[in-house]
Chains A and B, each alone.
Chain A
Amino acid sequence: MTIENFALIMIGFGAIIGVITLIYVLKRAFSRQAGELGGWEMAGARQIITAVAKTAVAEGLRTRIASGFVMLVVASVPFFYLTAEGDGTIKGKVQMFMTYSLGFSGFLLALLSILFACRSLSNEISGRQIFGIVSKPVPRWQILIGKFAGVMILNMLLLTYVGVTTYIGTLALVGGFKSNLHDELITYGSFTPAQAAAAVESLENVRGMGKEGMESPIIAAISNATGLPQQKIGETLLRLPEATRADLRRFDELRRQVLIARATIKPEIPEKQIRAEVEKRLAKMQEDGTLPSHMTERQVREELDKQMFGYFATIAPFDSQGWILKGPPPPKGEELIMSVRYKMHVPQVIPAINHPQTGAKLEEDMVLCIWAIGNPQSAHYYESVEPVPARTVQEMEFPVDAVEADGTIRIEFGNIDPRRVDVVFDVVKDALQVLYVVGSFELNLFMACIAMLVPLASLTAFGVCASTFLSFPVGALLVICLYLISSSMDFVKEAMAVTEDYMPDTVTTDILVRKTVVDSIGWLLSIGDIQVTERLLDGRVVGWTDLWADVWRYLLLKSGATLMIGVLVFRRRELAAIIV
């Protein structure tokens, strides 16, 4: 038996079990004469839902098993604060702390949502408290929504706690670094306390890109704040311990790249047109019979793809390329900086020469180019002409007002290097991005916490739905399994060999079945798209647009549908039924 056949047999086996289970559940649900009648009127629904939710919250806080979980969440954040180390620098510490406090809390809260949601209702059914509720004028959908709301309120309370403690922890880590720096400036740098305080304060106002050595904007900022000459500041900083000096740069990175909310925008790639062009060329090659005999059609297509996307991203000597990027509108009335982050690729080593016209020296592997940002017709148009290093990630800063009111950003790149080199931007692989500050870290953390609620809501809905027909440990284990599968979907895809990389030239039925099964499971089990922790670590904004997309897709559609299924099952369910 081949591996493929084995996989197919297992999938078939799983499908049969699934279908039998479904038939059994449906038979049980619909075999009785009646289900609940009426109860769809909205009058008084709020009061009942509130009452059920309130009791669910009380259950979460007062029963031992549940409150144990709550205590675990409460204790975990301070624990991570105390143990945060990372790579030892201030940036590493903060990032490590945020990763663990948000990541671990997210995981705990997911488990908590599942356990609560599955336990609350099914315990009520097995403990028969439900008799006292259903015999009152309480429509069953209101009980389910009440349970859902109760668990979500608990989640919100805990997330608020996690958000606030994470914020305080971050501030404390930064504060620790600053007070340490303050002391060291006095001890090693013989600053007066006032100068030290001013110097520390000035770190928040460093502008411009981080350059090495004496040109560092950090030195400029400290010099500005203390009134001491830059030379002296440089010498003073050299006397500080190596770790502190590293932390100075790291803190600047932290401030600009982590403790901030930046929108990341990539150029739109006219993918459709490119694909159409590829197909056209492929057809022409087939027509002319010029297809290389040693390549399959798929390989030729890939090759053409590469070429075409390459054209799109390659700027020939003395040529220029414009990109239009769409992002969220920038905040108004703030003097903020936006960065263009790019990585230029040049096919060969370019020797150092003097510019034929200006006579300026052009270093090896530095490309003379023009970057222009903004609408040339408007007042907020910026140009920069200078040689920049190739093959490394560069960040260029511009005032944020170059972004147009509707969030459009025009970027123009001109390749004016006299050595006539091709410049390539691999735009598909993030070689050109615009980052600009759209908000504060506080706001981003808040948004991140809201975004964290979305998957929790999905899990809660799964749990509540499961509890309408499964008893406590069974339902919870099922949903936990679903959660674990959904969070390891990438792994599952690789295990089932259905990722892009694994797809062979000819797609067989077996692969198609596997891919379809894995994709649909992935779709069914997905609980949220926003990778909250990763975004916060990069200081990338969790924007309203993303959030709304998540809320709409997962909270309203998926959780809504899941709850609806739960309501339908629960309405049919014979609550005092016994199986003899």
Chain B
Amino acid sequence: MKVIECIALTKVFQDFWGRDRVRAVDKLDLDINPGEVFGLLGPNGSGKSTTIKMLLGLLYPTSGSARVFGKQPTDTAIKSRIGFMPEESYLYRFLNARETLDYYGRLFKLDRHERRRRTEQLIDMIGLKRAANRPVGTYSKGMARRIGLAQALVNDPDFLILDEPTTGLDPIGTRQIKDVIRILGDRGKTVLLCSHLLADVEDVCDRVAIMYGGKLQKLGTCEELLTQNDETQITFRKNEKLLSRVREAIGQNGGEIISESHPTLRLEELFLRVVGQAQRDQLETSGAESTVGVSAFLGGDHRGVDLVSSLVEAGKKPAPGLAADAAGTAAPAGPKTDVLEKLTAKADDVAKTKPEEPKPSPIPSRQPNKAVLDRLMGGGEDKP
């Protein structure tokens, strides 16, 4: 059974007099299979959120149909299997983090013991332990987003819907969201990620749909959409002699060098290292603490080795310069083989083994890929 099945799903918004004004979603056909991490992309106003709201029963389709777990989205029975993180955290300003999560736990009819366990683990996971007794209304946007994530996970959902999950989040929070998505994906859960931050989607999604003007423009796996079969990229340790020979060989064999550059560290990784270092120096913060890992009841182990520390630890070994370490680590790393996943999945094993070194993403390959996405999105104004 498909998790999501939309057939010619259409939503038209009307004006006060009942006249059709805005066709937000137009004959959308979309299936999401169980266990899939699905990315829904599109510029602002392309109908992503409207689609999600129809899938949650917050909006009713004008025509066509949507099925979630084979039932109408307005059926209350299916909702215990869904987790939803809205595009902004709409929380009760007067409750604190603990009360908020406890409240949502009650809405899932969890018993007191289970609610307490999950609340504590989730608060740990999102790094708001110190701020847990402050009213949510006093939180910064990013902290509120973290609560938004936690409330979406409180029922350990089979199907997680994330609407713009990373807006307002710092890179650590962003990374955490991706980790959650990956771990849930590995556990066979279904995730619908709706975003216009292309890098986020690219990192975690199995399949991607791109919407524009309420219509589906492109649908396929990331690999299908992003691989450029007519170009090849090789990364190796810096060696001027070898490099000039490669250039020579390419020239001699009638090849053409399109671009040549040193791989750079992704800003996300740099950020993680700097904050990790600060945290190791035990600087005080009244905001969200940097924690990495996923609550145990979600399949992760929140006691797992701190990723950030491990990254810094690993980075220290070869050389003092951060950029240099990263450049020096040669590994054909992709986002799928993340350190964290192993760390959190088997915390005890990892504790014994030497932490792996951080692996830079293949930056050179990213640039053309992004261009493809942008092209597909019709040069959407959203910056990744």
Chain A residues within 8 Å of B, Cβ to Cβ: 27, 31-39, 44, 47-48, 50-51, 54-55, 58-59, 62-63, 127-139, 574-580
- Can you name 25 A-B residue pairings with CB atoms under 8 Å? A34-B60, A34-B74, A35-B74, A37-B74, A48-B109, A54-B103, A55-B92, A55-B95, A62-B135, A63-B93, A129-B91, A129-B92, A132-B91, A134-B58, A135-B57, A135-B84, A136-B79, A136-B80, A136-B107, A136-B108, A137-B79, A575-B58, A578-B13, A580-B14, A580-B22
> Looking at the complex, which one of A37, A50, A134 makes contact with B75 (CB distance below 8 Å)?
A37
B106, A47: Cβ atoms under 8 Å?
A: yes
Chain B 276-314 interface 0/1 with A at a Cβ cutoff of 8 Å (1 = within): 000000000000000000000000000000000000000
B72, A34: Cβ atoms under 8 Å?
A: yes
Query: Which residues of A lie under 8 Å from residue B90 when comparing CB positions?
Result: 127-132
* A131: nearest chain-B partner, CB-CB: B86
> CA A34 – CA B22 in complex, angstroms?
20
B106, A51: Cβ atoms under 8 Å?
A: yes
Query: Which residues of A lie under 8 Å from residue B93 when comparing CB positions?
Result: 63
- Closest Cβ–Cβ distance, residue B210 to chain A (whole Å): 23
A32, B60: Cβ atoms under 8 Å?
A: yes
> Looking at the complex, which one of A33, A47, A59 makes contact with B62 (CB distance below 8 Å)?
A33
A31, B107: Cβ atoms under 8 Å?
A: no
> CA A54 – CA B128 in complex, angstroms?
23
Count residues of chain B with CB under 8 A from any CB of chain A: 43
Extra pairs beyond A48-B107, A580-B14 (18, CB < 8 Å): A33-B61, A34-B60, A38-B75, A38-B77, A44-B109, A51-B106, A54-B103, A129-B90, A131-B84, A132-B151, A134-B57, A137-B76, A137-B109, A138-B76, A576-B59, A577-B13, A580-B13, A580-B22
> CA A62 – CA B53 in complex, angstroms?
31
A39, B60: Cβ atoms under 8 Å?
A: no
> Looking at the complex, which one of A33, A51, A127, A576 makes contact with B103 (CB distance below 8 Å)?
A51
B56, A131: Cβ atoms under 8 Å?
A: yes
A58, B94: Cβ atoms under 8 Å?
A: yes
Query: Which residues of A lie under 8 Å from residue B88 when comparing CB positions?
Result: 128
Q: Interface majority SS on A: helix, strand, loop or mixed? A: loop
| B99: interface (CB < 8 Å) | yes
A51, B107: Cβ atoms under 8 Å?
A: yes
> CA A139 – CA B88 in complex, angstroms?
23
Query: Which residues of B lie under 8 Å from residue A133 when comparing CB positions?
Result: 107
Query: Which residues of B lie under 8 Å from residue A136 when comparing CB positions?
Result: 79-80, 82, 104, 107-108, 155
> CA A386 – CA B288 in complex, angstroms?
89
| B375: interface (CB < 8 Å) | no
Listed from nearest, the 8 A-B pairs whose CB atoms lie closest are: A51-B106, A580-B21, A62-B94, A576-B58, A39-B76, A128-B90, A137-B80, A137-B79
Given A38-B75, A136-B104, the answer on whether A574 and B58 have CB atoms closer than 8 Å is: yes
Given A58-B94, A132-B104, A580-B22, the answer on whether A47 and B109 have CB atoms closer than 8 Å is: yes
| B18: interface (CB < 8 Å) | yes
- Closest Cβ–Cβ distance, residue A139 to chain B (whole Å): 5
> CA A47 – CA B112 in complex, angstroms?
11
A135, B13: Cβ atoms under 8 Å?
A: no
Query: Which residues of A lie under 8 Å from residue B94 when comparing CB positions?
Result: 58-59, 62-63
Query: Which residues of A lie under 8 Å from residue B224 when comparing CB positions?
Result: none
> CA A47 – CA B106 in complex, angstroms?
7
Query: Which residues of B lie under 8 Å from residue A58 when comparing CB positions?
Result: 92, 94-95, 99
A36, B79: Cβ atoms under 8 Å?
A: no
B95, A580: Cβ atoms under 8 Å?
A: no
- Closest Cβ–Cβ distance, residue B368 to chain A (whole Å): 38
| B231: interface (CB < 8 Å) | no
> CA A128 – CA B93 in complex, angstroms?
12
> CA A267 – CA B354 in complex, angstroms?
97
| B260: interface (CB < 8 Å) | no
B58, A59: Cβ atoms under 8 Å?
A: no
Chain B 8-25 interface 0/1 with A at a Cβ cutoff of 8 Å (1 = within): 000001111010011000
B107, A574: Cβ atoms under 8 Å?
A: no
* B61: nearest chain-A partner, CB-CB: A33
Query: Which residues of A lie under 8 Å from residue B92 when comparing CB positions?
Result: 55, 58-59, 129
> CA A576 – CA B109 in complex, angstroms?
25
B76, A574: Cβ atoms under 8 Å?
A: no
* B64: nearest chain-A partner, CB-CB: A33
> CA A5 – CA B310 in complex, angstroms?
88
> CA A32 – CA B61 in complex, angstroms?
8
Query: Which residues of B lie under 8 Å from residue A139 when comparing CB positions?
Result: 76
* B60: nearest chain-A partner, CB-CB: A32
Chain B 37-52 interface 0/1 with A at a Cβ cutoff of 8 Å (1 = within): 0000000000000000
Given A32-B60, A132-B104, A135-B58, the answer on whether A38 and B13 have CB atoms closer than 8 Å is: no
> Looking at the complex, which one of B60, B82, B106, B109 makes contact with A33 (CB distance below 8 Å)?
B60
> CA A32 – CA B10 in complex, angstroms?
13
Chain B 123-145 interface 0/1 with A at a Cβ cutoff of 8 Å (1 = within): 00000000000010000000000
